[in-house]
Amino acid sequence: MSHLSEAMKEGRFTVTAEVTPPCGPDPQRIRAVGSVLEGKVHALVVEENIDGVHMSSLVAGVHLKSIGVDPVVTMLTRDTNRIGLQSWLLGACSLEIGDVLVLSGHHQVLTAESHARGVYDVDSIQAIGIFRSMRDEGVLACGQKMEMPVSIAIGGAANPFAGPIELRALRVEKKVKAGADFIITQPVFDLSRFREWLDLLGERGVPERACLIAGIMWLKSADEARNLSETYRGMSIPEGVIRRLSDAADGEREGLLIAAEMVEEVRSLSGVRGIHLWAREREESLPELLDSARLSIS
């Protein structure tokens, strides 16, 4: 059992962080990130081609596991059909990787490969259901019995800030019903909206059935905040946050303070059972955020 699965099973507060694999075959950087975060987080979530071509999440996860760090490997329905998804999961389990995160993925027009064709044979909810059947029933999507079931914890994503909030809560409920054990949210900056979303999930009994992990992002500048807000649907960064970054003498330091404040606010909310950290392109600095936010897995 992975450290993350063990923590969830025991009801402990979970701490995870995001890491982007290199755009190349050299594993040294991802190993370096793993080394500085070893023992400080329950797992590192490895992104899968978020903005274009990178080393695959599965391979990067193997590199992390080789140095003693538990990975959560990411699977995108954008890029793979149901045959590939199931084959990929069998490979991950054969490598003793026990945590997977199932996502639809950003539309390809938001990546460097804007002319690529999306697959979308199944959506993320359907893929979660397929993986659950492989784990709990030992059967493939076609109904074929497997030689042995897989052993995994299945994760999904949630965006509390895009579109009708009732629809966003419903999608999370569907993912949990399909088999998701944990849900990682988009970065939280709008606390009022996040609380409203949590209340809707509470009415549906979702927090009792899955581990809700709130995303927290360390922004380095007002320009980064504006770019993210303008590029990605549902990346809700209030103008007050952007103004704080813009007015600060040191935007990155101010971003650290904002992130630490958000951790303190979010972890006190009923239903939140974990924190997930981003520091885009500077993951080696995440121990500083962990210290500032007083986050520990011990």
Task: Map residue 99 onto helix, strand or coil.
Answer: strand
Q: What is the pLDDT of residue 218?
A: 98
| Residue from 140, 159, 148 nearest 215 by CA | 159
Task: Answer yes or no: is 30 within a domain.
Answer: yes
Task: Answer yes or no: is 241 within a domain.
Answer: yes
pLDDT tens-digit map of 161-213: 998 999 999 999 999 999 999 999 999 999 999 999 999 999 999 999 999 99
DSSP-assigned states of every residue in 211-280: EEEEEEE----HHHHHHHHHHSTT----HHHHHHHHHSSSHHHHHHHHHHHHHHHHHTSTTEEEEEEE-T
What CATH code is carried by the domain that includes residue 28? 3.20.20.220
Task: Answer yes or no: is 9 within a domain.
Answer: yes
Task: Answer yes or no: is 111 within a domain.
Answer: yes
Domain that holds residue 80: 3-292
Q: How many domains does the chain have?
A: 1
Task: Answer yes or no: is 188 within a domain.
Answer: yes
Task: Answer yes or no: is 298 within a domain.
Answer: no
pLDDT tens-digit map of 86-130: 999 999 999 999 999 999 999 999 999 999 999 999 999 999 999
Task: Answer yes or no: is 297 within a domain.
Answer: no
